Amino acid sequence: MATLFDTRTKERRETFRDFFGVEEDEEFTEESLERLLQFEDLMLKYRSAIREVTTKLEVLNDELSVSREHNPISSIHSRVKRPYSIAEKLRRNHLPVSVESVQANLNDVAGIRVICSFINDIYDIADMLLAQDDIRLVTRKDYIKNPKPGGYRSLHLIVEVPVFFSTGKEPVRVEVQIRTVAMDFWASLEHQIRYKNDSPEVKAIAEELRVCADTIAATDVKMQELKLRIEAKTKIP
């Protein structure tokens, strides 16, 4: 029966193999163990940063549900990139595979996806998050107003948030993607074919998806308009 130590050792070997590209049966040296511990420490920082930003979003959602009687956020999902995916992205960009390289070059290791009901909710949540004095905006890409050629729509923010550890405060970057339920549904389907082959059939499906993205975008705009009309009719004079 595997002990907790055995399980942890196996996980560390998998991490070391996936990120640093060593052989599975390679023994841990003092140097390799130090590199692994540095990587684990970095992943802890990213997980902690996700908790910080997620809490801020949840508090905003709770506040708005009282003040506006409307929950702008339908759901929040988060993830930290797996070691293999991190290493693969570094190699794809011709960058060294190291802990220092991750910190210096990648902004999307820690990711949060925020699903909203309406387009206006996206911009409201983004503005309120960025208004907080301990959040620093690094980059902002609006793929709602300027969709990608394939039809992808979402608001992307790279933010830096301070995370407090026993050794002091450290700024950590998190990618926040904010989109509507409809945009998220489309993105989930598009993701399934993104890395498929380039056969004519797949290309045809990609074009149909692009058309669907336009239809979904028009529906989002219409739903926002209907919401505003309903609010105007029910507003107390």
Q: What is the C-alpha separation between 13 and 2, in angstroms, rounded?
A: 15
How would you class 125 by CB atoms within 10 Å of its CB: exposed for 0-12, middle for 13-18, buried for 19 or more? buried
Per-residue pLDDT of the chain (237 residues; tens, 9 = 90+): 455 445 555 666 666 666 666 555 556 566 777 888 888 999 999 999 999 999 999 999 999 988 877 889 999 999 999 998 999 999 999 999 899 999 999 999 999 999 999 999 999 999 999 999 999 999 999 999 999 998 999 999 999 999 999 889 999 999 999 999 999 999 988 877 765 566 777 777 888 888 999 999 999 999 999 988 988 877 655
Q: What is the C-alpha separation between 129 and 132, in angstroms, rounded?
A: 6
Contact 175, 107 (CB under 8 A): yes
Residues in contact with 109: Cβ distance below 8 Å, sequence separation at least 6, in sequence order: 46, 80, 81, 86, 102, 173
The whole-model pTM stands at 0.86
Choose among 57, 181, 63, 61: nearest CA to 115.
Answer: 181
Q: Which domains does the chain have, with CATH numbers?
A: 12-180 (3.30.460.10)
- For residue 8, the tally of other CB atoms under 10 A from its CB is 11
- Half-sphere exposure in the Cβ direction for 74 (13 Å, CA): 15
Phi, psi (rounded to 5 degrees) for 68: -115, 0
pLDDT of residue 236: 52
Residues in contact with 193: Cβ distance below 8 Å, sequence separation at least 6, in sequence order: 202, 205, 206, 209
pLDDT of residue 22: 55
Burial pattern 38-66, b for ≥16 Cβ within 10 A else e, equals: ebeebbebbebbbebbbebbeebbeebee
Residue 175 annotated in active site: yes
- For residue 220, the tally of other CB atoms under 10 A from its CB is 21
Q: Which of 26, 30, 88, 175 is catalytic?
A: 175
